[in-house]
Chain A
């Protein structure tokens, strides 16, 4: 006899399971958005369903640029959870006013330095247990202009 196991650390992104589902839907279309409080207008990162300033739970979606710059980064060589390949680049990416934590991916990921331009490059990961697609945030280095 065995027990059934089905939880992983990827978020449940679908409308049935997450108030912020539109973030993921747009991410899947290659767009980056965040929440803006419908009452006081404050924008947040990460997106949130409750405003810490005015306690409103109504929000609209605000478009963010797809381009940002590396504000800080580290390269992890050892001790990554199974399924992630080393070396893995973790960065804080500045996009407009937001400081976004995300991995840098792609063949040139390890070439980034502080100040490097990067562009949104969402990654599709395992579907959830009901078969809904799941996308995660990631950025890729932008080719330096020739």
Chain B
């Protein structure tokens, strides 16, 4: 297989945006092309767009062609949309990666975009039900928070994880987001604020949850030859893994505090990269809810099973600790525009591994990881490196 690198990256401001679905595509495309002046839209051979529900939020299907036309890309090797709920962006990056690694394309953009906020707020919440099973879950009014609340309750009962430890994940990621001008929230948060915020689904409070956010992000992937031609600081894709345990709550492993598919996805990515969890200095993980980040520490191998609570409490997931988790601000701080999230995680790795992350820079970052999930049983992990394999 050929080596593949990120050579360009850009992200829009995340938030409740006064912008259309197409406006967000334009913004992310502009930011991405601005990062790589040597490449014009006509130079790209392909486009993959990660987007979950434009049919519901923008009455729009046929997304990859719409985005290609909007950005002036004329695909000659690859044009596709990926939909894998919250992991759609990273799933798109994997497609582009595989095409380039296989020699089927040399230069491909992956763009993630979602316009979730709606003129009628209730519609935005209703739409979130489309990501769980209509017949056995969504019909009951289920959206994501109660699912992850069940995992949090189990983790607390099994390992003694405390509400305060969950809150500390919120404090950390909101604090990081305050240093990220594209984040949805930029005011930080204190422990008192998080613990005092209103209950969403017990034990998860508002500041332990990601919000409903609009945004888009884009990266450009290149083959080794093109990458070295286009930039002196490519960021290399060193490993990738994806694994699924199940879709409905009833079909997942009985113990919701264990997410074995995440461990399998991470192990596959580590093996491919020839590294272990100890080599990872920064990680963008899918903190859709605080408990998800706590479980991620464990399943990604940053600490032992059950030690996720103390891991955040002792500062081991922050600057100065073992691994800086979510320097961008995570989904809780940046917001979670579904299809855009995985691509935005990649833009942070691009900045960090090139030493361009400004006040968020993780010192001496050479290897980083992104983790994107869609529900508790479906996980995607990418490993990026400053150096080629």
Using CB atoms and an 8 Å cutoff, list the residues of chain A in contact with chain B. Answer: 9-11, 20, 45-46, 72-84, 88, 90, 92, 98-103, 125, 136-138
Query: Contact between B200 and A76 (Cβ–Cβ < 8 Å)?
Result: yes
Among residues of A, the one whose C-beta sits closest to the C-beta of B204 is A74
Query: Contact between A81 and B129 (Cβ–Cβ < 8 Å)?
Result: yes
23 contacts between A and B (CB under 8 A): A11-B135, A45-B250, A46-B133, A72-B150, A74-B146, A74-B149, A74-B150, A75-B201, A77-B198, A77-B202, A78-B198, A78-B199, A78-B201, A79-B145, A79-B200, A82-B126, A90-B146, A90-B150, A92-B249, A92-B250, A101-B140, A103-B140, A137-B140
User: Which positions 101-151 of chain B face chain A at CB distance < 8 Å?
Assistant: 122, 125-126, 128-130, 133-143, 145-146, 149-150
> Separation in Å of the A51 CB from the closest CB of chain B?
14
Among residues of B, the one whose C-beta sits closest to the C-beta of A101 is B249
Which residues of chain B have C-beta atoms less than 8 A from A103's C-beta? 140-141
How far, in whole Å, are A137 and B282 apart by their CA atoms in the complex? 44
Query: Contact between B122 and A81 (Cβ–Cβ < 8 Å)?
Result: yes
Chain B interface bracket (under 10, 10 to 19, 20 to 34, 35 or more): 20 to 34
> Separation in Å of the B328 CB from the closest CB of chain A?
24
Q: Do A81 and B250 contact each other (CB < 8 Å), given the known contacts A72-B150, A72-B256, A74-B146?
A: no
How far, in whole Å, are A65 and B154 apart by their CA atoms in the complex? 26
How far, in whole Å, are A136 and B269 apart by their CA atoms in the complex? 42
User: 8 other contacts beyond A46-B248, A81-B122, with CB at 8 A cut-off?
Assistant: A46-B136, A73-B150, A74-B146, A74-B150, A76-B200, A77-B199, A81-B143, A138-B140
Q: Do A9 and B256 contact each other (CB < 8 Å), given the known contacts A74-B149, A75-B202?
A: no
User: Which positions 211-261 of chain B face chain A at CB distance < 8 Å?
Assistant: 248-250, 254, 256
Among residues of B, the one whose C-beta sits closest to the C-beta of A100 is B250
User: Which positions 193-211 of chain B face chain A at CB distance < 8 Å?
Assistant: 198-202, 206
